[in-house]
Chain A
Amino acid sequence: MSHKENTAEVESSNMTGTEDPTNDEMLVQTDVSDGLSASTSVSETTNAETIIRADDINVWYGDEQALQNISMEIPENSVTAMIGPSGCGKSTFLRCINRMNDLIDVARVEGELTLRGKNVYDDDVDPVALRRRVGMVFQKPNPFPKSIYENVVYGLKIQGIEGDYDEIVEESLKRAALWDEVKDRLHESGLDLSGGQQQRLCIARAIATDPEVLLMDEPASALDPVATSQIEDLVEELAEDYTVVIVTHNMQQAARISDKTAVFLTGGELVEFDDTQKIFENPESQRVEDYITGKFG
C-alpha cells in the first residue's frame, strides 16, 4: 500500500528530528522563519516539511471504534484533503488534531499525533494552547451573535493578543475575501450575513489570530455553488501561508483544491494517502478506485 511506503519515506527523514532533544529549539526556529518561508513557498508538497504526523491513532466513542491505526504525515503550507463516505472517521481525525474530541465525554484517543514534533496528547500539553495554534472552521457557519468586528477580534481578545485591532480586522476580512462586502457595516450582527458570508467571517475569525494550521470540516457543505467556489478559491490562497487540512465529501472539491488526499473508508480506516493527482488518476487500492469512480460510497 502506497501510504505505508510514503510514511516510511518521510519518517526516515523526520525520525531523528523527533527523537532529538534539541528539537524544541528547532521548533522555535521553524516558528520564526515561518513568516519568511511562507511568502515564498510554492505548493510543492513532496519537499515540504512535515508539520503534523499521526502515528497509529485509534479513536473510540464508547465501545465503538471510529478510527483504526491512522498514520500519516501532513506537509506544511499545503492543502491536505480528507475524503470518504459518511461515518468513515474523517471528521473524527480532523478533531484529533486540535483535540476537540476532548470535549466529547465518551471519546478516547490512543496513539501519537505530533505538531512540529511535539505529541499533542502528552500530559503537559494544554488543549487550549494547542487550539490557539490550530484554528478550525466548522461545517455549519457558526458566527457568534455579536457584531462582525467583535467576531473577528474574539480570538485576539481571549488570547490576549495586542495590536491594532482595526488593522487586523481589515486584513483578516480581506484575506477571507469578505472585506468589500462588509466594510461599511462592521458593527452589525454577524448573524445578518448570508450563509456564505458567515462562513467567510468564520474563516476571518480563525485566521485573525494567525494560527499555524487551519482545520476545515466540510466548510462548504452548507453553502450554494457560488459561495462554495469562493470558499475553494480562498482555501487555495490560504495554503500559501497556512497548512490547511480540509474534510470534504465532495471529491471534485478535493481534486480541485488539495495537494494531498487521504481516503478514509468505512470502519475508520485510512486506505490511501498520497498526492491528490495520484489518488484521482492512478490509485493503488481497488477500493479507493471504486470509491472515486462512484461504484460505492
Chain B
Amino acid sequence: MSTDDLETDLTRKTENSPRELLTRSFFFLCAALSVVTTISIVALLVTEAAKFFTLTAPLMGVTGETASIVDFLTGTTWQIHNKEFGVLALVSATLMITIGSAIIALPLGVATAIYLSEYASKQARSVLKPALEILAGVPTVVYGFFALIYITPAIGVVLPGIGTFNILSASIVVGIMIIPMVASISEDAMSAVPDDLRQAGYGMGATKFDVSTGIVVPAALSGIFSSFILALSRAIGETMAVTVAAGAQAKFLNPLDPSSYLEGALPMTAAMVQLLTGDITGGGLAYRSLFAIGLVLFVITLIMNIISDYVAQRYREAY
C-alpha cells in the first residue's frame, strides 16, 4: 500500500458519506413524524376550540354563535339543543368512571403484581402473564357489550331497579380493562427491586408477606405510582366501552355520593362520539364544542402525565 492510499484512507469522512447522510435523515424524519403529529393535533384543538368561545372567537375571525368560556367551565347542564354547554356535567361522569375503575383496578392490579413478582411459580406465571396480555388486547367495544350484557344484569340481581346504562357497570368494566396495565407496570417495578433486599429481609426472619409488603412494594413505589397514573389516564380517555355502557344522557352527578353511580351519565369521550355521529352540521356551535371538550380532555391527561413523570423522578430509588 502506498503512502498516498494510506492518507486517503485516514482522511475519508465516513460520517458525511451519502449513505450515512441518507440514513440519518431517514431516522430523523421517522422520529420527527410523531412530534409533528402531536403539534398539529394540539394546534387544531386549540384553534378550533378558540372559535367556540365568545372571548376568543373574534381573534379567529368567527362571527357566528359563540359560548361563554365561564359558562362552559362552570356550567353543570349539557344540552346542545338548548345551547347549554356546561362541561362539568361531562367531567363529573368521567371523574366517576375514573374513581370507580381506580377502586377496582389499583388494589387488584397491585395484588396481581405482587403475586406475579413474589409468589407465583414458573408455571403459574406462564399462565397468568399471557392471560393478562389477552385481557389488555380485547377490543374496548367488546368490553362495552360485556358490561351491558353481563355486568349490568349481575348488578341488577343485587340492586334491582338499576338502569340499563349506569356508571357503576361502566366503572367496573373500565377497571377490568386497566388491571393489566397496573399489574404489568407494577410487576416490572417489583421485579427490578434487587434480590439482595429480599435476601436481607429473609435473612432477618421475615416472612414472604413481610418481604413483599414491607420491602418490595416500598422499594418499587415510584413504578407503582406511575402505573396508577398511566392507568387512570387510560380510564379518563377510554371511549368505546363507556359510550356503550355509561349512557347517552348528560347529567351532573355528585361523584362523592355512592347512589349516583347507579345512574347513567355522559362522559366526555362519549359526548364527543355522540357529537360526531349525530346530525350536527359542520361549522356550527355544537360542532365546535367537540374541540372544546377535546381540549379539556387533553389538558387533564397532560397534567396526569406530568404528575407521573414527576413522581417517577422524585421517588426513584437508586439501589
Give chain A's interface residues, CB within 8 Å of chain B: 98, 100, 103, 128-132, 135-136, 138, 140, 142-146, 154-155, 158-159, 191, 202, 205-206, 209
Contacts and interface: CB of A to CB of B under 8 A. Distances in A.
Contact of A128 (B197, B206, B317, B319): B206
Contacts of A142: 194, 196-197, 199-200
Contacts of A98: 203
A143 B215 CA distance: 11
B319 A144 contact: no
Interface of B is mostly: helix
B150 interface: no
A158 B206 contact: yes
B213 to A, nearest CB: 11
Contact of B200 (A128, A130, A138): A138
B20 to A, nearest CB: 44
B204 A205 contact: yes
Interface string B179-213: 00000000000000010110111111111001000
Contact of A145 (B201, B203, B319): B319
A136 B219 contact: no
Q: Nearest 5 CB-CB pairs, A to B? A: A132-B205, A136-B203, A142-B196, A131-B205, A155-B204
Given A145-B219, A191-B319, A103 B202 contact: yes
Given A131-B203, A191-B318, A145 B218 contact: yes
Nearest to A140: B196
A158 B210 contact: yes
Contacts of B318: 191
A129 B196 contact: no
B196 A206 contact: no
Contact residues on B (Cβ < 8 Å of other chain), bracket: 20 to 34
Contacts of B156: none
Contacts of A145: 197, 218-219, 317, 319
Given A144-B197, A191-B318, 16 more contacts: A103-B199, A103-B202, A130-B205, A131-B204, A132-B204, A132-B205, A135-B203, A136-B203, A138-B196, A138-B199, A154-B204, A155-B205, A158-B214, A202-B200, A205-B200, A206-B204
B98 to A, nearest CB: 30
Interface in B196-253: 196-197, 199-207, 210, 214-215, 218-219
Given A140-B196, A145-B319, A158 B205 contact: yes
A155 B215 CA distance: 12
Contacts of A128: 205-207
A136 B202 CA distance: 9
B216 to A, nearest CB: 10
A159 B197 contact: no
A105 to B, nearest CB: 8
Nearest to B194: A142
A202 to B, nearest CB: 7
Contacts of B203: 98, 100, 131, 135-136, 138, 206
Contacts of A130: 205
B158 to A, nearest CB: 40
B168 to A, nearest CB: 39
A1 to B, nearest CB: 33
